[in-house]
Structure 1
Amino acid sequence: MNGQPTADVVDRIKDIPLYRASIERGHFPVLEKSEIARGFPDNWMTPGLAEALAAGEAEFVLSTGTNHARMQLIRPPYFLLKSYYRLWSEHPDIADTWAEGCKRVSLTTVLATEHVARVNARKRGGEPEAQPALSERWLDERTCYLNLRLDPDHWQRADVARMLAEIREAARAHPRGRYHLDCSSSHLAHLVRKARAWGLWADFPRPASIVHAYEYTPVNVARYLREHFDCPIVDLFGSTELGYLYYSDRSGRYRPYLDGMSVELLPVAPGSGIHALIVTSVRNPWMPLVRYRSGDCVRTLDGSADPGRIARFCGREKELLDTPDGPVAQGDLDEVVGAVTPRTFLHRLDVTGPGEQAVLRCTTFDGAPLTAAEADATAREAGRLIGRPCRVEHHEHLPIGASGKYAWLAATPTPAPAAGDSHGDAR
């Protein structure tokens, strides 16, 4: 039966209360986040898990809450970090920087930095400083975190100078000054822009490899980073609860990384080329997920539901915009915007009601408004995509969300119901 778990997966989950009814029925519906939370943690508790929790081999954590309500999880300590490290060590384009012992410098949300500082403070029996020193921002001997502000557009010259100095310190640990740069792509683009604007670009040590892994990377941001860094730039796709599932090569082609996993794709609406990502994973032994709706959307090379033909990850299922021609995802609008001009940096679509004019609010890499021709073409192509009139509005600044990530859609979207069987609960 399409999408149903294999016998060995069923054997791995047979003692977990959450799955007992499905095992008895011989059919597993799509697993929604609400079902994971219902009755937590008793719905996951087995004698083996209880022993692991008591021994410190399993721990309770919260998902980031970036794209949905924060979800309680159970996993081995450093589950996501070990997934990252293993992928880094095996990736054909960047494994050399792992093997050489390059330090990993991470430029991502301030929430990640605060988490590391909080963990280190707890180890010493204290509270984290409001502005933790670099020594308090090392996750382990390999990885440190740079960002101390929510909105990277608010970085001052002193912030940029500090971060570049900390990068140089990490690079000095390598005999040839090599290091690995891990980032949210938009944060790195902000750092590049500000370093150039303030005459600090020459002080920016060039990384030996780059991974962006925390959010959707817009077409123009990816292009901008390739223009400024002459090293492999790799995109990783994954989540707190699953680890990493796919990676790109340096040319942008995605490859599966599905050890202990399988993937199926379900159209988000009848006839749509956008598919919801459904994952079965036993990689986390304490919380194996069977037919789990990750909430992510993909497009394939040919529009089919073949997971081996995924061309790109195009946003979140709950952020789809309903249009007369079917659902539109973040990646769809981004491709339209990026095809008109490479100058557009951040953009957010404001949609106030059916049939009303939409406003596409944009910033640019150089800070200057789009030309009249660029703005008209962007408005025309975006309007054609979403099925309503659209105008472009230049902004010097678009605020970042509380999670430290950017929203592409300001309206409350109304996604079409997902095709296929499910528990039917709201995510």
Structure 2
Amino acid sequence: MNGQPSADVVAQVKDIPLYRTSVERGHFPILEKPEIARGFPDNWMTPALAAALDSGEAEFVLSTGTNHARMQLIRPPYFLLNSYYRLWSEHPDIAHTWHEGCRRVSLTTVLATEHVARVNARKRGGPQAEPDPLPDLEQRRLDERTFYVNLRRDPALWDRADVERMIDEIRAAQSAHPHGSYHLDCSGPHLAHLVRKAVDWGLWATFPRPASIVHAYEYTPLNVRRYLQHHFACPVVDLFGSTELGYLFYSDRTGRYHPYLDRMSVELIPVEPGDHPLYALIVTSLRNPHMPLVRYRSGDCVRTEDGSPDPARITRFCGREKELLKTEHGPVAQGDLDDVIAAASPRVFVHRLDARDPSRALLRYTTFDGAPLAPAEADALRRGLTGLTARPSDVEHQRHIPIGASGKYAWLAQDA
């Protein structure tokens, strides 16, 4: 498979300036993020797009910038939200909570909360209006179905008042449903922090139990997923996607991934040659009619069950291409480190690998119970890290590992 688009795809993008050279040559190279931004928006502009922008059928937005530099996009209003809602409504394990009218509580980065509050402030007060420093619940409501609860960047620093407020707001969503059901949308680590604090402070008995859970905002470590599944009896599923693409894959309640490629196709190319290679995800998508992407490098890495470049055999989304550790055995991704940690101990919570010294590696970690690993667990982790990084490795327990400026955790520290 050479990855070249079908005639139908070419017909739909032939008038877009960005693709004209590719159409003329009969070959579409891989589309990198800088090419999307170069000459924007003229490189995308067609009479149809100009008309859509004038009518409000298309709008300019910025990507979140949490995994790469923020880039401008053109898309239909509520593109990502509608992609989420459609997948929620069709997911075999959780569709019932959509059709039963469950409210959606979103517990994720404070950047997402601030975005919703900012949009609402400008709806009320004009394009220059700013939200309150601590927006109330109504200011954090995305639509009739969804509101956001996090008001701090670092969830490890939530105090008791933060946790009690969030539990009260979640209870409001639960109480709005005739059967007391609600849908919890989250970043996995954020929800784990909330559960841990509720347990530690004697608030777990009052925590409203959701009817379904989706984690969809960042890589969710295996131990975090285990922790959530231990505390919640409902399905816990992962959605994989991005601001510019919408959602492409979903997991079932057992963790197995399934494609959700409406008007999309996927190809896998090796990041580097190898016996069991790590693949870069290349996506062709017509889902966004105003900015169709042909052979777009999403920046994500995957592994397949048999090492083949067959997208149907994807078993792991392993993190970002820009966050790979180069070793003499080949590139190491976030998911590879996660496998080593999960095999050594289920107690490791937040972790960060310091690989800035080329002669050694140091894993700093926190635990769900706050105590250091037992000697046997620590030794198993050291051995696993040494084999993974091909350098002497050690582990160091921490009480707190700060979250990144984006509101997501960085798994790796290494020199640029």
Q: Same fold (TM over 0.5)?
A: yes
Counterpart position of 2:205? 202
> Structure 1 residue aligned with 2:361, among 358, 362, 366?
358
- What amino acid is aligned across from residue 92 of structure 2 in structure 1? P
Counterpart position of 1:54? 54
Task: Give 1:148 shift.
Answer: 0.1
Could you list the per-position Cα deviations for residues 275-315 of structure 1 after superposition, in whole angstroms to 9, with x for gaps in the alignment?
Answer: 00000000000000000000000000001100000001001
Counterpart position of 1:224? 227
- Identical-pair percentage: 76
Task: Provide the C-alpha distance between the structure 2 equivalents of 1:83 and 1:230, rounded to a whole number of angstroms.
Answer: 26
Task: Provide the C-alpha distance between the structure 2 equivalents of 1:196 and 1:246, rounded to a whole number of angstroms.
Answer: 32
Counterpart position of 2:237? 234
Task: Provide the C-alpha distance between the structure 2 equivalents of 1:107 and 1:323, rounded to a whole number of angstroms.
Answer: 36
Q: Name which of structure 1's ranges 214-223 and 371-380 shifts more when overlaid on structure 2.
A: 371-380
Task: Give 1:143 shift.
Answer: 0.2
Counterpart position of 1:112? 112
- What amino acid is aligned across from residue 116 of structure 1 in structure 2? V
Structure 2 SS opposite 1:124: helix
- What amino acid is aligned across from residue 46 of structure 1 in structure 2? T
Counterpart position of 1:425? none
Give the total of aligned pairs: 412
Task: Give 1:377 shift.
Answer: 1.3
Counterpart position of 2:72? 72
Task: Provide the C-alpha distance between the structure 2 equivalents of 1:168 and 1:308, rounded to a whole number of angstroms.
Answer: 40
Residue 350 of structure 2 is aligned to residue 386 of structure 1: no
Task: Provide the C-alpha distance between the structure 1 equivalents of 2:181 and 2:273, rounded to a whole number of angstroms.
Answer: 49
Counterpart position of 1:418? none
Task: Give 1:129 shift.
Answer: 0.5
Task: Give 1:2 shift.
Answer: 1.4
Task: Give 1:151 shift.
Answer: 0.1
TM-score (norm. length: structure 1): 0.96
Counterpart position of 1:338? 342
Task: Provide the C-alpha distance between the structure 2 equivalents of 1:375 and 1:227, rounded to a whole number of angstroms.
Answer: 23
Task: Provide the C-alpha distance between the structure 1 equivalents of 2:54 and 2:329, rounded to a whole number of angstroms.
Answer: 53
Task: Give 1:412 shift.
Answer: 3.2
Q: How does 1:70-109 map to 2 (within 5 A)?
A: 70-109=70-109
Task: Provide the C-alpha distance between the structure 1 equivalents of 2:213 and 2:292, rounded to a whole number of angstroms.
Answer: 30
Task: Provide the C-alpha distance between the structure 1 equivalents of 2:197 and 2:77, rounded to a whole number of angstroms.
Answer: 36
Could you list the per-position Cα deviations for residues 163-207 of structure 1 after superposition, in whole angstroms to 9, with x for gaps in the alignment?
Answer: 000000011110111000000000000000000000000110000
Task: Provide the C-alpha distance between the structure 2 equivalents of 1:78 and 1:64, rounded to a whole number of angstroms.
Answer: 14
Structure 2 SS opposite 1:245: strand
Task: Give 1:379 shift.
Answer: 1.1
Counterpart position of 1:161? 164
Residue 182 of structure 2 is aligned to residue 179 of structure 1: yes
Counterpart position of 2:325? 321
Q: How does 1:25-64 map to 2 (within 5 A)?
A: 25-64=25-64
Task: Provide the C-alpha distance between the structure 2 equivalents of 1:398 and 1:144, rounded to a whole number of angstroms.
Answer: 28
Could you list the per-position Cα deviations for residues 222-255 of structure 1 after superposition, in whole angstroms to 9, with x for gaps in the alignment?
Answer: 0000000000111000000000000000011100
Residue 292 of structure 2 is aligned to residue 288 of structure 1: yes
Q: Which has the higher contact order (CA 8 A, sep 6+)?
A: 1
Task: Provide the C-alpha distance between the structure 1 equivalents of 2:194 and 2:415, rounded to a whole number of angstroms.
Answer: 31
> Structure 2 residue aligned with 1:347, among 335, 338, 351?
351
Residue 191 of structure 2 is aligned to residue 188 of structure 1: yes
Task: Provide the C-alpha distance between the structure 2 equivalents of 1:352 and 1:329, rounded to a whole number of angstroms.
Answer: 16
- What amino acid is aligned across from residue 218 of structure 2 in structure 1? E
Task: Provide the C-alpha distance between the structure 1 equivalents of 2:38 and 2:124, rounded to a whole number of angstroms.
Answer: 35
Counterpart position of 1:306? 310
- Large movers: runs of 4+ above 6 Å: none
- What amino acid is aligned across from residue 411 of structure 2 in structure 1? W
Counterpart position of 1:263? 266
What is the root-mean-square deviation of aligned Cα atoms in Å?
Answer: 0.8
Task: Give 1:95 shift.
Answer: 0.4
What are the ranges of 5 or more consecutive residues in structure 2 without an aligned counterpart?
Answer: none
Counterpart position of 2:155? 152
TM-score (norm. length: structure 2): 0.98
Could you list the per-position Cα deviations for residues 62-81 of structure 1 after superposition, in whole angstroms to 9, with x for gaps in the alignment?
Answer: 11111111011000000000
Structure 2 SS opposite 1:116: helix
